[in-house]
Amino acid sequence: MLRIAIDNAKQQKEYLHESGPLVLGRQPGGDQAQVVIDDDYVSRRHLLLEEIPPRRLRFENFGRNDLELTDGTKIGRGACGETDLPARFRIGRTTIEVVRQVTAPLLDLGDQDDSAGEEFQTISLPATCQLPSVTRHSLASLGEVPSAEKLAVWFETLLSVQRAAVGSAEFYQETARAIVELVGLDRGLVLLREEAGWRIAAGWAKDQESGLTFSRSVLSRVVEQGRTFYGTPQTANARASLENVEAVVGSPIFGSGGEVVGVVYGSRDWKPEMSRVGIQSLEAQVVQLLASSVSAGLIRLEMQQRLQQVEQLAAVGQAIAYIVHDLRGPLGNVRQLLEMRRAGSQEGVPQEEQLDLIDQSLSVALDLLNDSFEFCRGKVRVQPVRGTFSELLGKHLRLLRLDLQMLGVDLQVDVPADLQVALDPERMARVLRNLARNAAEALQQHAAPVVTIGAQQGPSGEGVELYVADNGPGIPAEVLAKLFQPFSTYGKRGGTGFGLAIAKQLVEAHRGRISVVSSGQGTRFTIVLPPGAAERGADDTGHEPAAAQTGTFIASVSAAAPRRVLLAEDGAVNQRLIVGQLRTGAHEVRVVDNGRNALDAWESEAFDIVLMDVEMPELDGLAATREIRQREREQGRQSRTPIVALTAHASEESRAECLAAGMDAVLVKPITQDDLDAAIRRVTGGP
């Protein structure tokens, strides 16, 4: 058993941990034993500890910040090791002391009671994992036959055990309770085997003050032979665990490999005023039935977990396959354009436009990754703007035409020049691109393949109706019914069917709807968008909605006034890129490569703004920001240093975590010049 002492400014507590892995962190979560540490330097799931023989401790650092040992050695993220007990660790402001608690010996199988001569019996057929073969005897051959009412109660109790969530505290508690209330014993326990001994998963007693004691010798017999034992222990040799106990029963719980993973145990107390009754064969059979029920439940749980893991891995594989498939379009454009530039060719695309198309294609690829990430998390946001269809979606259709030409498919556009729309250009472009590419790939064998993208005013003069049509052979009716389900495909080579599910989600995020009709003359997808979508507001980079007449989505941002900037970034390539962008704006830059050095630089010099990478060695950006805000309060500083997060994580949770730590804005890598300039202008309040 380990005693863990946690000491920091907010917390001075001690914990006892019997055995197995122990996770420490701010919000550890999971199924393992855990200790919560109230310290901002500590990650949600930071440190794993586990006692190993002889008197040593295994540790592993999951956290962003280093783990410091007694001798000053620093253990980085993902590193693990062993040390002697007692041990002492430090994370941020928290000290963790781990001592081996000296208690009574662990209840291992080698430490048996001297039980020679005890009158134990065993059921002729061992308990098995299969419920139907628990017993092949009739109740009449086992002794006194219980009444029909009692049998009904027994089976209802067994069903209540099965209805409880397998592996939960309720599951084990219902089993222990059944030994007392169903079988009629005075004490019932469910014990699970662990590396260092036995753990009581649940216990129930008629007299709660009598305690939950059990006999190690009985457990040893059950484990060694894998059979149910019951009988009367020798009173002359009985230890404290059998004091005042008349009879005991133990039945094995089996794992999927046939090994004994636990024991269902019951005992009946000796009462002077009553004659000795011991434990009857029928009672032992019912305990064995309970043990087999637990075995079957645990095996079923293990099989369900394995199946879920297989299904999750398969789903992840399909999602990755879709994302890779969808990225081929824009990345193929980039490759083609680069080849054209190397060859000096201007065939169809003037050289002065080739760099713009490369930049746009890479932006499309990044948007695809971000959208796929949001879809997998079930969170999609849209930011509609107003303008004409051509202004908002024109450049996307130009890239799409180039993409379809590589597939040998002609793209036609049928849209009134002055048609006004309110939509998120990037997201709706993805929907149209996905529908058009699906159609083009299904038309590979068609003699004259044509895909048409059109838009018109809604049927009642309100809203807008977009459509993507092709002249292919159509889609069967049985396929149409499940076309928008993830991983449903038709007419494509190598597709995963993930794209239409994303398209539907993006359309519904616009408060619109998408439908499809198909016949032998072709297929038509129709998107109906409602009127009055709100315009996009400023985001964390300071971008305002694009004006309709600009024909772009984000207005160009003028360079921010020169500032003194502290850049905390551990990646050498990122350092060079961001420093180059800052010097383009005539900013003065100081570069450090971890959060601790960022703190030191902030203390010793004055900066107008800090650009803080979130994930760094020594001290991550979140912890460094919390420390800066804490020192500002302690020092009574009148002004607050603006801090902008630099991160590759685009999720809302990551953004919220940065803002909660005290950061003022968030930039997602890769960072454009306009994004950087806008963020600096916004958080510094200057021109």
Report pLDDT digits (tens) over 543-578.
333 332 222 222 334 456 789 999 999 888 889 889
Q: Which residues contact 23 (CB under 8 A, 6 or more apart)?
A: 30, 32, 33, 34, 35, 45, 47, 48
Third-level CATH fold of 381-537+545-550: Heat Shock Protein 90 (3.30.565)
Backbone phi and psi for residue 294, each to the nearest 5 degrees, phi listed first: -65, -45
Q: Which candidate, 432, 472, 428, 469, places its Cα nearest to that of 451?
A: 469
Confidence of residue 104 (pLDDT cuts 50, 70, 90): very low
Q: Which candidate, 643, 598, 588, 591, places its Cα nearest to that of 620?
A: 598
CA distance linking residue 318 with residue 312, whole number of Å = 10
Cβ burial 209-240 (10 Å sphere, 16+ → b, else e):
eeebbbbbbbbbbbbeebbbbbbbbeeeebee
- Domain positions in the chain are 2-100, 119-303, 381-537+545-550, 564-684
Query: Which of 210-219, 502-511, 531-540 has the least mean pLDDT?
Result: 531-540
Span 564-684 CATH architecture? 3-Layer(aba) Sandwich (3.40)
Q: State residue 451's pLDDT score.
A: 92
Q: State residue 283's pLDDT score.
A: 82
- Tell me what the pLDDT averaged over the chain comes to: 78
Q: Which candidate, 241, 213, 216, 217, places its Cα nearest to that of 115?
A: 217
2-100 and 564-684 agree in CATH topology: no
Span 119-303 CATH architecture? 2-Layer Sandwich (3.30)
Q: State residue 454's pLDDT score.
A: 93
Report pLDDT digits (tens) over 128-156.
333 333 333 434 444 455 566 666 666 66
Write out the CATH class of domain 2-100: mainly beta
Beta strands 47-52 and 420-423 are unpaired
Confidence of residue 468 (pLDDT cuts 50, 70, 90): very high
Q: State residue 363's pLDDT score.
A: 74
Report pLDDT digits (tens) over 613-637.
998 888 899 999 999 999 999 998 8
Confidence of residue 365 (pLDDT cuts 50, 70, 90): confident
**C-beta atoms surrounding 154 within 10 Å:** 16
Q: State residue 604's pLDDT score.
A: 93
Q: Which residues contact 43 (CB under 8 A, 6 or more apart)?
A: 25, 26, 62, 63, 64, 65
Q: Which residues contact 613 (CB under 8 A, 6 or more apart)?
A: 568, 569, 570, 571, 574, 621, 646, 647
What the block records as the tokens of 125 is 């057929």
Query: Which of 62-66, 439-443, 650-654 has the least mean pLDDT?
Result: 650-654
**Diameter of the chain by CA atoms?**
107
Q: State residue 539's pLDDT score.
A: 40
Report pLDDT digits (tens) over 184-195.
888 899 998 877
CA distance linking residue 40 with residue 324, whole number of Å = 38
Identify the H or E element spanning 527.
Answer: strand 522-529
User: Between 537 and 687, whose confidence is greater?
Assistant: 687
CA distance linking residue 222 with residue 240, whole number of Å = 20
125 alpha carbon, distance to own chain's centre: 45
Backbone phi and psi for residue 674, each to the nearest 5 degrees, phi listed first: -65, -40
Q: State residue 588's pLDDT score.
A: 93
pLDDT higher than threshold 70 for residue 381? yes
Q: Which amino acid is at 158?
A: L
